[in-house]
Structure 1
Amino acid sequence: MPRKIISDNVFSSNNSERKRTRVYSGSYLKLGFVPDSTDETKPYCLLCCKSLCNDSMRNQKLKDHLKNVHSEHAGKPLEYFQRLNEHRQKNRQMSLTSMFKVQTNLNMCGVQASYELSFLLTKKSRPHIDGEELLKPACEIYHRTMLDSGTPGSQLAALPLSNDTVRRRIDKIAIDVQSQLNDILRNTKFSLALDESTVRDSEALLLGYTRFKHGSNFAEEMLFCKSLKTTTTARDIYAVVQEYFTENGIPIKNLISTAADGAPAMMGRHQGVLKLLKDDNPSMMAVHCIIHRENLAAAAISCELDQLLKKVISVINWIKSRPTNERLFKQLCVDMEEDHIRLLLHTRVRWLSKGHCLERFLNLYDTVLEFVGGREEFQFLKSSESKTLISYLADIFGKLNALNKELQ
């Protein structure tokens, strides 16, 4: 019978029974069992390469396992199982060495792939969870169907692409890129463009873009995006810019020009941000953003064209603001086999929206006329002169859109 030992101070919940832990006996080798390498209190079968529970560490139970599961090996001598054990230990030692090498290479390749895929998600503005829920399953499907027609390899299973991992990868990439950019600006002359905007939840953001010569080419990068917690005065914006330069060791003398829109907080003659920066660096050039000036010039159109533009926008709003009208208009576009089924809204904030809005309206002009032809306030659409002027507006704002894109 095998020897039995009692584990130290292990009791049941009622402290009345002791938990017994059975130990391995050398006589079990002739039955094909050795101690498990990870837990010596469990018997390891050399034939099926499986570990049994500690309660199976009994002569009769091990005999039953050999007889019932491996009946063809029941009569094998002790030497046979000794050779199996020696072969197992030799393979295990070799596999451990190779496993560490393979695992190290696999981990390095997996980390590199994880960084590259995280960077791809960032460039495409995709949610972080897409790495685990979209990219990884897509790679597994390709591997399974196109490469080996089997189960995905361990490389894909080991690829770290969880939501938190992708977030950490993106943060590290951003920090590294920011560090490289700051290193360049410490030793290079550069220009700066500032823009303060209010987004959803009334959050005020200050965006800074820099342009500099890198090698033989000019490069343009986003320098920072900072939140303005309370007010958005010139002093607040100036403090954010000054703090960024100080924290990252960027000399203010390297700033040769700064551009901003025409807001008083930016372009104020006495207390504007550009005036405060110029006080620190008198050689700096202050520039009124050419894109903003072009947009202001484009806003000054004749009274007749301005009234017509407002009428066109009122037609679009009448269709778009009513869900029933929107659905009926969509169905009418489908019936008339139009290339588009929806009109586009115009907003003053989005500079490029006028050109796109008028171009779509002109493409669906006949359909719009049929849809609203019975309403008295929209009778101006039946005039050939109105259609000509709308075409003219669409062409003009289309040209302005192209100019805006080239300037940006």
Structure 2
Amino acid sequence: MSKKRTYLDLYVQYGFDFIVVDGVEKPQCLLCSKVLGNGSLKPSILKQHLEATNPAHASDDRATFEAKRARFRAAGTLPKLGFVSEKKPTLAASYHVAMRIAKAKKPHDIAEKLIKPCALDMVEHVCGNNEKQKIQAIPFSNDTIHQRIIEMSQDICQQLIEQFKSSPAKISLQLDESCDVANFSHLLVFVRYICGKELKN
């Protein structure tokens, strides 16, 4: 089983707080709210993110970030990528629906045009108008769903990169080319690596 890293208070000097997802601590940037993988709980990686993503704040001192962290926590700022507290179930619902739309390969506006109206009808008839107002508050616009999918895909990509880097054995690559229904060619990359004690593809 791979070693789980723990957030240290000194990491705030790089502009990071943390959240707990499924019992695992993950660093969250105080400036852009991006959530990194547990393997990123290293000073070098956190500093690299700060300098590359938020260069204007790279020279800020620890006291500045500690004050920002205090405001961050007091305001209940929620992490992205679906990792949200029970106080913001509408945000969590938005990410879950976006994930289903992506898996089903449906247009992003289907949430606003079909899913939400159907959900409102069901809740109104089964639960009443009070509960309907809660569903109405869920953000389902085309742009919102599009952004949710981008954020989740970036998180998945980051997790895979971290797993590749932490593989105790060399990874193997296989490249291939395929064409879709519109006859556009796509490069396919197959990777085999070890994650923990499992061989993954």
Normalised to the residue count of structure 1, the TM-score between the two structures is 0.26
| Residue from 185, 190, 214 that aligns with 2:164 | 185
Equivalent pair of 2:166/2:195 in contact (CA under 8 Å) = no
How far apart are 1:120 and its partner, in Å? 1.1
Question: What code does the residue aligned with 1:121 have?
Answer: I
Report Cα offsets for 1:268-288 as digits up to 9, x if no partner. Answer: xxxxxxxxxxxxxxxxxxxxx
1:64-83 matches, cutoff 5 A: none
| Residue from 100, 118, 126 that aligns with 1:138 | 118
Question: What code does the residue aligned with 2:199 have?
Answer: F
1:337-352 matches, cutoff 5 A: none
Q: Considering only CA atoms, is the larger Rg found in Structure 1 or Structure 2? A: 1
Q: Which runs of 5+ in 2 are unaligned?
A: 1-74, 77-84
1:210 alignment partner, SS class: strand
1:202/1:108 Cα in 2 relative to 1: closer, same or farther (>3 Å)? same
2:140 is aligned to: 161
1:212/1:117 Cα in 2 relative to 1: closer, same or farther (>3 Å)? same
Equivalent pair of 2:193/2:200 in contact (CA under 8 Å) = yes
Report Cα offsets for 1:284-313 as digits up to 9, x if no partner. Answer: xxxxxxxxxxxxxxxxxxxxxxxxxxxxxx
Normalised to the residue count of structure 2, the TM-score between the two structures is 0.51
Larger RCO (CA within 8 A; separation ≥ 6): 2
How far apart are 1:198 and its partner, in Å? 3.1
The count of corresponding residues between Structure 1 and Structure 2 is 117
* 1:204 to 2:185 alignment: yes
2:138 alignment partner, SS class: coil
Question: What code does the residue aligned with 1:140 have?
Answer: L
1:126 is aligned to: 106
How far apart are 1:203 and its partner, in Å? 2.9
Q: Which runs of 5+ in 1 are unaligned?
A: 1-99, 221-408
1:201/1:122 Cα in 2 relative to 1: closer, same or farther (>3 Å)? closer
Equivalent pair of 1:106/1:155 in contact (CA under 8 Å) = no
Report Cα offsets for 1:35-72 as digits up to 9, x if no partner. Answer: xxxxxxxxxxxxxxxxxxxxxxxxxxxxxxxxxxxxxx
2:121 alignment partner, SS class: helix
1:108 is aligned to: 88
Structure with greater helix share of residues = 1
1:193 alignment partner, SS class: strand
How far apart are 1:151 and its partner, in Å? 6.1
2:150 is aligned to: 171
RMSD over aligned Cα atoms:
2.6
1:195-274 matches, cutoff 5 A: 195-199=176-180, 202-220=183-201
1:125/1:116 Cα in 2 relative to 1: closer, same or farther (>3 Å)? same
Identity across matched positions, percent? 27
Question: What code does the residue aligned with 1:111 have?
Answer: L
